[in-house]
């Protein structure tokens, strides 16, 4: 028998911890901390689930493996006054590429190439490029009952505070997360004009009635500051009093009694291998996994939900045999193009770890202006503003499968001589990849990273779509006004024209190309990092499904999943907005189901009293 539950918490002593309600849970042989719900993962989806449940009056424990990030989330590593690098829209590239940040705020997943998986309060919402891009109606035809476009659109809108539109059937105003335009640059404006000159339709709202076309993105930025869902739902002044957040807490497994989840086991601290005690917390109602498309299937497998032969191999008792846990991993790869340019009105500035800018006086002044609230500072922009969506001959269905994003700078690492005045980088993504990979346990130790096999470009159609897109971009680049700004094609290089050479360029990633006189490289494709599908939702009779249409893990009770892993098919664009929608939808389902159970119990009690 499991011990009786009694909540006992000791408040942390720092001001940031007190403001956030961070605490250490005390345990002994007879006491466990207990909550209505436990949410594993404090990323965008988990923050929304926890925040909405807290607003409904439930007690919620959020366990986040990483540390604090944005200022409003308790972050203290200021680089511009009180502001941390996670608050600065331009800071996302530094977080992803600079080891000073990535070693602490990204998961280590041995893979070639490794996916960029955020580890910290806010999840991908504190290190992504902040693009707000919903799915399209056609995307949800494969999701099943309760997940059609009419079902999900209200939950996209629920979070939205669109800074461009008045409230409409497609846009929300007054929600907790800002969706706004950013200042564009001359290269991006020229790109859109050349797209239109090539015959691509102009599109002034990628989240409007259609997706195809060229135009300008919108971003999760409010007043020049990153507006991540975690800050909106769990930040200072926003977190419900019934929600408690514990950072640096790595969940090792879900605890079951029979096939019912009743709590979790976790360790606290920055070093899970350091011999820290394994702690436990209990959920009166449910455990909700929001750990992401790699760590959620890993945690299910460690907890005994997965492929029985693999679990047996690592000595893990099987709670429910489902070999589909961790399968169907879907993510695209980028084809990268880069040009020298005649210069531009956008300057990339890097942020050092002590504050200020390491580049030049201009950037230092821009950072000071940003910290003072100047939304026109270069740091108030994510460094990207424009893109295009095209439908290749290899698209499935009617929606565009190719996404073009222009960066008016050398995104991939200053690999070129400084004699060039400027750069432009194009990221070409196939948003509907057909290739599928997997996530599996490396061992039975929770602290070991999982095996991740992306199996990128294993379906020939994925490669063909990217090759088609490279050639389309070359046509666009030859048209004014973009033609008058771009100079030499540096990546993959104008001399590379055959399918074989271009595919080599894609598979090598942006830093190793034959056009540079280097030998053929090992395959190091550059993932888009929109990983989805590893715990896909579906009908329980579908052998591919891991969760049902109400996000309940099939075969067990008291356990749900709410993150990108449940997507049966990646959306037609960036995944973050759809993760937010899943969080909103999951929270409402949980609340509705609990209220339905309570009403049923009340009716049953009333019937018994009447009969007696």
Can you tell me the distance from the alpha carbon of 349 to that of 409, in angstroms, rounded to the nearest whole number?
10
Same domain, 463 and 566: no
Same domain, 500 and 563: no
User: Is residue 354, in this structure, part of any structural domain at all?
Assistant: no
Q: Using the Cα atoms of residue 398, residue 401, residue 402 and residue 405 in order, give the sign of their dihedral.
A: positive
Q: Which helix (H) or strand (E) holds 506?
A: helix 499-508
Residue 408, both tokens = 């008016």
Q: Which residue has the higher pLDDT, 170 or 110?
A: 170
pLDDT for the residue numbered 612: 62
User: Is residue 39, in this structure, part of any structural domain at all?
Assistant: yes
Same domain, 406 and 511: yes
pLDDT for the residue numbered 354: 43
CATH code of the domain in which 490 resides: 3.30.410.40
Angle between helices 460-477 and 186-197 (to 10 degrees): 100
The whole-model pTM stands at 0.92
Same domain, 426 and 519: yes
Q: Is the pLDDT of residue 10 over 70?
A: no
User: Is residue 356, in this structure, part of any structural domain at all?
Assistant: no
Mean pLDDT of the chain: 88
Which of these ranges, 13-17, 132-136, 140-144, 520-524, has the smallest mean pLDDT?
A: 13-17
Q: Is the pLDDT of residue 193 over 50?
A: yes
User: Is residue 229, in this structure, part of any structural domain at all?
Assistant: yes
Q: Give the end of a domain, one of 506, 524, 542.
A: 524
CATH code of the domain in which 147 resides: 3.50.50.60
Q: Is the pLDDT of residue 500 over 50?
A: yes
pLDDT for the residue numbered 42: 98
Q: Which residue has the higher pLDDT, 384 or 94?
A: 384
CA 213 remoteness from chain centre = 24
How confident is the model over 424-428, as a mean pLDDT?
94
Same domain, 101 and 231: yes
Q: How many domains does the chain have?
A: 2
Q: Using the Cα atoms of residue 580, residue 115, residue 268 and residue 91 in order, give the sign of their dihedral.
A: negative
Same domain, 98 and 206: no
Bond preceding residue 481 cis, omega within 30 of 0: yes
CB atoms within 10 A of CB 421: 11
CB atoms within 10 A of CB 370: 26
251 is in an annotated binding site: yes
pLDDT tens digits, residue range 306-324? 999 999 999 999 999 999 9
Q: Is the pLDDT of residue 115 over 90?
A: no
pLDDT tens digits, residue range 532-591? 999 999 999 999 999 999 999 999 999 999 999 999 999 999 999 999 999 999 999 999
Same domain, 117 and 35: yes
Q: Give the end of a domain, one of 476, 507, 524.
A: 524
Same domain, 173 and 188: no
pLDDT for the residue numbered 35: 98
Residue 337, both tokens = 């193009």
User: Is residue 463, in this structure, part of any structural domain at all?
Assistant: yes
Q: Give the end of a domain, one of 494, 509, 524.
A: 524
pLDDT for the residue numbered 490: 86
Same domain, 93 and 236: yes
pLDDT tens digits, residue range 28-60? 444 589 999 999 999 999 999 999 999 999 999
How confident is the model over 260-271, as a mean pLDDT?
93
pLDDT for the residue numbered 342: 83
User: Is residue 376, in this structure, part of any structural domain at all?
Assistant: no
pLDDT for the residue numbered 606: 67
pLDDT for the residue numbered 352: 56
How confident is the model over 94-113, as a mean pLDDT?
81
Q: Which helix (H) or strand (E) holds 301?
A: helix 292-302
User: Is residue 362, in this structure, part of any structural domain at all?
Assistant: no
User: Is residue 603, in this structure, part of any structural domain at all?
Assistant: yes
Same domain, 605 and 506: no
CB atoms within 10 A of CB 107: 20
Q: Using the Cα atoms of residue 456, residue 460, residue 463 and residue 465 in order, give the sign of their dihedral.
A: negative
Same domain, 284 and 422: no
Confidence category of residue 359, pLDDT binned at 50, 70, 90: low
Domain that holds residue 78: 1-177+223-328+437-453+530-612
Can you tell me the distance from the alpha carbon of 309 to that of 314, in angstroms, rounded to the nearest whole number?
9
Same domain, 492 and 540: no
| DSSP code of residue 176 | S
Can you tell me the distance from the alpha carbon of 142 to that of 152, in angstroms, rounded to the nearest whole number?
13
How confident is the model over 441-452, as a mean pLDDT?
95
Which of these ranges, 14-23, 349-358, 400-409, has the smallest mean pLDDT?
A: 14-23
């Amino acid at each position: 028998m499991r011990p009786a539950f009694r909540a006992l918490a000791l408040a942390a002593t720092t001001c940031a911890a007190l403001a956030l309600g961070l605490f250490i849970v005390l345990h002994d042989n007879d006491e466990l901390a207990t909550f209505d719900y436990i949410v594993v993962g404090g990323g965008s989806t988990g923050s929304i689930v926890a925040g909405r449940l807290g607003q409904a009056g439930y007690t919620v424990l959020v366990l986040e493996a990483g540390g604090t990030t944005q200022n409003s989330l308790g972050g203290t590593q200021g680089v511009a006054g009180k502001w941390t690098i996670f608050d600065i829209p331009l800071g996302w590239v530094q977080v992803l590429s600079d080891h000073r940040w990535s070693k602490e705020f990204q998961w280590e997943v041995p893979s070639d190439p490794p996916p960029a998986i955020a580890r910290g309060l806010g999840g991908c919402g504190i290190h992504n490029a902040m693009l707000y891009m919903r799915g399209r109606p056609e995307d949800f035809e494969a999701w099943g009952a309760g997940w059609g476009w009419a079902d999900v659109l209200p939950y996209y809108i629920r979070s939205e505070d669109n800074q461009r539109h008045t409230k409409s059937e497609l846009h929300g105003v007054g929600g907790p997360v800002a969706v706004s335009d950013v200042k564009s640059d001359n290269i991006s404006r020229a790109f859109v004009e050349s797209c239109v000159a090539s015959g691509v339709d102009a599109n002034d709202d990628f989240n409007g009635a259609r997706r195809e076309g060229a135009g300008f993105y919108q971003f999760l930025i409010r007043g020049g500051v990153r507006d991540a869902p975690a800050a909106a739902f769990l930040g200072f002044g926003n977190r419900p009093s019934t929600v408690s957040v514990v950072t640096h807490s790595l969940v090792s497994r879900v605890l079951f009694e029979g096939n019912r989840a009743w709590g979790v086991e976790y360790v606290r601290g920055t070093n899970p291998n350091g011999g820290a005690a394994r702690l436990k917390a209990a959920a009166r109602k449910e455990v909700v996994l929001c750990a992401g498309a790699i760590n959620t299937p890993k945690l299910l497998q460690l907890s005994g939900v997965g492929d029985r032969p693999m679990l047996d191999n690592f000595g893990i008792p099987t709670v429910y045999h489902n070999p589909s846990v961790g399968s169907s991993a879907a993510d695209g790869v980028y084809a990268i193009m880069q040009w020298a340019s005649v210069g531009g009105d956008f300057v990339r500035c890097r942020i050092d770890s002590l504050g200020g800018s390491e580049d030049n006086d201009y950037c230092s002044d821009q950072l000071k202006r940003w910290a003072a609230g100047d939304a026109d500072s270069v740091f108030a922009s994510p460094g990207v503003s424009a893109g295009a969506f095209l439908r290749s001959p290899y698209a499935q269905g009617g929606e565009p499968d190719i996404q073009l994003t222009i960066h008016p700078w050398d995104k991939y690492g200053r690999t070129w001589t400084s004699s060039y005045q400027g750069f432009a980088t194009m990221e070409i993504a196939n948003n509907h990849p057909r290739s599928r990979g997997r996530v599996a346990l490396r061992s039975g130790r929770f602290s070991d990273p999982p095996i991740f096999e992306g199996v990128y470009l294993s379906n020939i159609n994925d490669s063909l779509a990217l090759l088609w897109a490279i050639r389309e971009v070359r046509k666009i680049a030859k048209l004014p006004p973009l033609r008058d700004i771009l100079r030499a094609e540096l990546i993959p290089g104008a001399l590379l024209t055959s399918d074989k050479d271009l595919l080599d360029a894609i598979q090598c990633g942006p830093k190793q190309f034959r056009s540079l006189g280097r030998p053929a490289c090992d395959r190091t494709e550059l993932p888009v990092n929109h990983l989805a599908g590893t715990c896909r939702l579906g009908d329980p009779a579908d052998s591919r499904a891991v969760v049902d249409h109400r996000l309940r893990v099939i075969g067990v009770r008291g356990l749900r999943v709410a993150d990108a892993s449940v997507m049966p098919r990646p959306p037609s664009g960036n995944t973050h907005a759809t993760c937010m929608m899943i969080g909103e939808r999951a929270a409402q389902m949980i609340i509705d189901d609990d209220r339905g159970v309570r009403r049923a119990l009340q009716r049953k009690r009333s019937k018994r009293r009447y009969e007696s």
